[in-house]
Chain A
Amino acid sequence: MELFNKYKNKNFTFITNYINSCINDESLTLTEDELREQLSGASQSTFEEFVLALTNAYTDNSDVNAAILYENDQSNSLLPLRQINVPIRATIAEKAWLYYILQNSKSDLFLSPTTKEKLVSALEDDFDNNRYPIKFDYIDIRTLSADTKSDFSTEYVNNFKMIVSAIKQHRTLTVTNNSFSGKIYTQQIVPYKIEYALQLDSFSLSCFPLNTKRPVKMNLSNISDISIGETLENYDEYLNDFKKQLRETKEKCPVTIEIQNQAEAYDRCAYLFSSYDTFCYDKGNDTLIMNIYYYRFQKEEIVRNILFLGRYVQVVAPENIVDDVSSSIKKAYMNYAD
């Protein structure tokens, strides 16, 4: 099958949802104007021919009205002509992908063993199972770490699920954390979200300890004990405060680097910084300028990336980062000056 195909056009999703919702609950219907507005939006993003056919506006026999919806006289809203739910079926791409991720041990962090078994069974019994092309054997992920990951312990899985519940339900958590420095802390926290670091394949909890009210990050592997607390009535206040503090740690002055168009430096730089908020432009003279807007806690990683990229990349601002980088390079060079 083609991954990019017409049956996945968002209009098919829209009408499927519309028909099914209206059949289940008539209060969700829209008038013709409301429907046009939702489909077309401010950007005129749905082609006019389609909207005309959907609203049965054609009067000329050379064009066909869809005859899927009709207008109810009393409410002026559009209802499905045929009151049968549109059945929903996953495509082969979706099923293949689902089967692939179920073989990743991280799926145990989300599903109970019963649910997982039922799902794996349903996919293995699927008529098209032999057409699933996403398999571990066909893909090699060049992991950065030499260590082989073992499966998650029961304790880790339980901690993970508890954190997820607390985040969804806006509840506090009491957490015992063994930090890098060796100290053990037990504190009550407001969880924000779980951060997943793709390159290191690790989870951390981004949260707000109640007694410090400053954003803190804890690696989930360092959490030895956890219990769930009450729902926070004023969770939105905490969330806004957290976001405000986060915004304040975003530096107004970006790191500015100059990249020479040599040895694929543009390309390597663009890939390395593609997960940052960057702004590039051509300086001329075969040089690209990249401004990197960053959070204060990303500074170390940016310096590492600049060193990583080598001699065709030069940081020109701000002064403290230029000093950091140039002094690192000088010290590194001294190791080879004999």
Chain B
Amino acid sequence: MAKTKNTHAFQNDIKHYDNIRDILRFLYMYGSYSKEELVKNKLAKSISSFYDTKQRIENYIDGEFLQKHKSTEKGSGKKYRFMYDPFICPVNYLAETYQNCSYVIGDFIFYFCLMQAFTDSEFRQLPYEYVNDAEYGEIDDCMAFNHEFTLNELITTIQLVFDANQELLENCNQVLCNDEQSELIFTMPRVRARINELTDLGILIRTQKDRYRLADDIFQNFDANELQDIQLMTQYFYNCSVITVPGFYLSSTIAEYSQANFISETDAFFNKQENPVFFYKNHRLQNVIDDDITWAILDAIHNRNVIQYSYRNKSTESKTFTVLPIKVVIDLQYGRQYLFAYDYDFKGFNIQRIASISDIKPSKAVTANQKYEFASNAKEYKDIHVLYDEQYHAHMKNVWNIARSDSPSTVLIHFCFPADVYEKNLSRLRSTCHCGTITELRGNKVDYTSTVQCESELVPWIKSFGSFATVDKHMNPNLYDKMKSDWEEALKLYGTI
């Protein structure tokens, strides 16, 4: 058995999610592709880095959901695809790829020495009681949950914890302890960096300039049954809400909390996703791949920050944008996510796809005076988010789904449903029309009218009703002609024209 570090070993975990984002999305959406095809599509820099990425994805995702198969075409190797079936796998397995951020051993030791230094001051646990040695009972190495500590105090405490652990390990298992290690691991710069990370995460809170304490336990007043209800609610929502990963993390946290506080029958130490009560129709998993970007955007909106990012347009070229994010927009038709923002170079508002955004960071390129240059009265707003909202609604007025244009029009569409499916189709019309007015007429006829910014955006929706829908020729001649030519082209495909 190797007893020293092997720096050439394959590293399963990754530092930045960008390393697997594109290839994961490509495999999920478009699979199946061989390694040569993925390199050709610039999703892997080389065949060897492809193998690394492929091995990672195989490790992150249960083999049941990532399938390999041999292609029937000559000369191509194995191909990969993700499977999705709402009955067989009602969980979002792509969310599990977020549990693989890399760390060093020092991070691990620090975290557990820190967290195991906290104990309930009313029900004080004695860490080394099992040793039956009075010396270990006297070590003053615990902090109450609400104790506010300085960094110096913390360093002393966790060094005591680590030294005691090492000494005990030597006594119990004859593993030689290294007296200098705690000095090396718990230096002020390293401790400060990790405390800052944990404070940023919210596990610790900074109460004053140099004082910290453990965050409050939000679940302390709940019993096991209430926690079960909260867990079921969390599982339901993270599979269908706008952003998945925080809910996925929360589900894991609740499971850990239940395991710690209410002795449960499970002996599973990794959190396994479950969905015992629900399954989801049209559950599109791919947006989870962009959750860290969506989160960063929401954070920027909340803090009114300007950001910069790379945007990959249709021709796969990347361009840098500097924007003030205003709103995250979710399209339920295709399941895409968008960012509505003010673009400082274009000097106007843009709506861009979140799936094409990467490498997002705060920007200092814009001065305080420039920041709200799109609104001369910005200073009058106590809450700038009200201004954001007003700008958004002004630009999105009469937008049917997402598309904006300068030439709004009123559309009129005539529907005629056969009697035996009238109710069903009317219900579908009502539940998919976005906006507008529906008027039931005689003879199983229904009229739909709406004022929209971009009438051509309705084309796919009108087509989905097949022969039941016809655009009014006089009201919307352009739309009428477009529908006619589209149906004509479609007919040619089937050779029936």
Contacts and interface: CB of A to CB of B under 8 A. Distances in A.
Interface in B155-169: 161-162, 164-166, 168-169
Interface residues of B, number: 192
A2 B217 CA distance: 21
A58 B173 CA distance: 13
Interface in B441-481: 459-461, 463-464, 466-467, 469-470, 480
A105 to B, nearest CB: 12
A115 interface: yes
A270 interface: yes
Interface in B138-163: 142, 145, 161-162
A332 B457 CA distance: 19
Given A92-B202, A200-B431, A271-B29, A81 B214 contact: no
B256 A16 contact: yes
A336 B480 contact: yes
Contacts of A11: 108
A269 B290 CA distance: 19
Interface stretch (B43-51, B270-278, B369-377): B270-278
Interface stretch (A83-91, A151-159, A224-232): A83-91
A139 B331 CA distance: 11
Contacts of A307: 463-464, 466
Contact of A277 (B60, B83, B216, B241): B83
Given A47-B12, A280-B31, A128 B488 contact: no
Contacts of A1: 200-202
Given A56-B175, A97-B246, A270-B30, A14 B270 contact: yes
Interface string A265-292: 0101011101111111110000010000
Interface in A65-110: 65-68, 70-73, 81-98, 100-101, 104, 106-107, 109-110
Contacts of B118: 84, 87
A46 interface: yes
A53 B12 contact: no
A193 B280 CA distance: 10
B115 A87 contact: yes
B9 to A, nearest CB: 6
B365 interface: no
A73 B173 CA distance: 8
A87 B37 CA distance: 47
Nearest to B3: A59
Contact of B116 (A21, A82, A274): A82
Contacts of B284: 271, 274-275
A52 B1 CA distance: 9
B13 A279 contact: no
A137 interface: yes
B489 A25 contact: no
Nearest to A85: B260
Given A7-B111, A20-B259, A196-B240, A334 B280 contact: no
A93 B295 contact: yes
B269 interface: yes
Given A111-B229, A196-B278, 11 more contacts: A17-B259, A49-B9, A63-B5, A67-B177, A83-B127, A111-B230, A142-B332, A144-B431, A145-B434, A275-B84, A314-B494
Nearest to B267: A28
12 contacts: A8-B98, A48-B9, A64-B178, A64-B185, A71-B173, A84-B125, A126-B216, A139-B242, A193-B90, A197-B280, A278-B84, A307-B463
B402 interface: yes
A50 interface: yes
A199 B83 contact: no
A258 B218 CA distance: 53
A313 to B, nearest CB: 9
Nearest to A87: B118
B332 A144 contact: yes
Interface residues of A, number: 156
A266 B162 CA distance: 56
A326 B176 contact: no
Interface stretch (B322-330, B342-350, B404-412): B322-330
Given A87-B145, A277-B83, A145 B432 contact: yes
Contacts of B79: 281
A133 B233 contact: no
A251 B271 CA distance: 34
B198 interface: yes
B145 A115 contact: no
B129 A3 contact: no
Nearest to A24: B263
Contacts of A132: 302
Interface string B181-199: 1001100000000000110
A274 B233 CA distance: 25
Contact of A49 (B105, B329, B433): B105
A162 interface: no
Nearest to A66: B109
Contacts of A271: 29, 284, 286, 334-336
A258 B232 CA distance: 41
A195 B436 contact: no
